[in-house]
Amino acid sequence: MLYSKKLGSIRVCAAYFFGKIGCNGRLFVFLDKNNYFFKKTLFYFFVGYFILWKSLTWFGKIIDRVYLDSQGWQGIRQRGEILKSVLRQVIQDNFEQGVTTNLLDVACGGGRYDLEVLLDFSGGAVNALLRDYKAENVQKAQELALHLGVSATIEQADAFNDDDLNRVLPPPNLIVVSGLHEILPDNELIRQHFQQLYRLLEPGGTLIFTIQPYHPQLEFIARVLNSHTGKPWVMRLRPLELTEAWATDAGFQDFQVQMDNFNIFGVVKARK
Ligand SMILES: C[S@@+](CC[C@H](N)C(=O)[O-])C[C@H]1O[C@@H](n2cnc3c(N)ncnc32)[C@H](O)[C@@H]1O
């Protein structure tokens, strides 16, 4: 809904105001040469609603377009595509070697990336376990899986909790951590997370994680948007070298990095 109930009276006044300007300014004079309707208050509302509705629709669309075409959102969309292609390639490689992929996504959000990739593989190629600590995201992912007709286990769990991680069966040979580390300010938590994930992953398995070394709208986002905690979304930027060093210390190797065109977001593939 574009308008809330609270805005009702503002909307009526604005409609009247715009209508009066529109009518008095004879914007529609060609419709009513005898001036029969234009002086009628009711007609002000009618014209006003039309002008308001049209201008808000167009104005809203322009604002949306500018916002969605910003480098940040283009980068996020590119990261999504890169992530899906890396994920698809790992599953395909496993499949060609006769290995079933046991996929674990520790913070899947609405699960779209994973579920769209799973669509490309027939049953048996992948056992997918998608997790998020928010019940509403789990529900969204479950609904999307149902909608796409994709089979996956989707459950609520904490990505950093050892008890939750130890419950993962069968042990994963592919782990995805996308968009999680970037929203958390605690370096030590992330550093240890690589060690937790290394312990969990099957020998020879693959870890796919995302990085965000830079963002052109850091201050804008911090002032305008809230993060998953409900607090201002102050992004935590970390250079690739720092994150890669933590992953290397944990035991990961063979890093392959793909960045979006603006070097804002990246997808890293590493092997245990
Ligand atoms: C920015 S979203 C990323 C979602 C998705 N992976 C993606 O790349 O689009 C971050 C997600 O991490 C989840 N999250 C945050 N802290 C978590 C935790 N401790 N355990 C599991 N999920 C968590 C949030 O609920 C949210 O869905």
Give the per-residue pLDDT at 220: 77
**What is the predicted pLDDT for the residue at 26?**
46
CATH of 71-105+160-271, picked from 3.40.190.10, 3.10.450.50, 3.40.50.720, 3.40.50.150, is 3.40.50.150
Q: CA 255, CA 237: separation in Å to the nearest integer?
A: 19
Could you tell which of 228, 236, 267 is best to mutate to test the pocket of ligand 1, judged by most ligand atoms within 8 Å of the CB?
Answer: 228
- Determine whether the shortest distance from the Cβ of 172 to ligand 1 is under 6 A: no
CA distance 21 to 25: 6
CA 119 to chain centroid, in Å, comes to: 19
CB 105 within 8 A of CB 178: yes
pLDDT band at 4 (very low <50, low <70, confident <90, very high): very low
Instruction: Say what the pLDDT of residue 50 is.
Output: 66
Ligand 1 contact, 101 CB (< 6 A)? no
Rounded CA-CA distance 67/75 in Å is 13
Do the Cβ atoms of 267 and 82 come closer than 8 Å? yes
Q: How confident is the model at residue 43 (pLDDT cuts 50, 70, 90)?
A: low
Q: How buried is residue 162: exposed, middle or buried, by Cβ count under 10 Å (0-12/13-18/19+)? A: exposed
How far is the centre of ligand 1, averaged over its atoms, from the C-alpha of 109 (Å)? 5
Asked if residues 70 and 40 have their Cβ atoms less than 8 Å apart, the reply is: no
pTM (two decimals): 0.79
Q: What's the pLDDT tens digit per position in 50-87?
A: 666 666 677 667 766 776 777 888 999 999 999 999 99
CB under 8 Å to 28, separation ≥6 — which residues? 22, 38, 47
Domain ranges for the chain? 71-105+160-271
Please indicate whether residue 134, judged by its CB atom, sits closer than 6 Å to ligand 1. yes
Per residue in 208-219, pLDDT (tens digit) is: 999 999 888 888
Q: Please indicate whether residue 109, judged by its CB atom, sits closer than 6 Å to ligand 1.
A: yes
Q: How far apart are CA 227 and CA 221, in angstroms?
A: 9
The CA 65 to ligand 1 mean position distance, Å, reads 26
What is the distance in A from the centroid of ligand 1 to the CA of 268?
17
pLDDT tens column, 126-179: 999 999 999 999 999 999 999 999 999 999 999 999 999 999 999 999 999 999
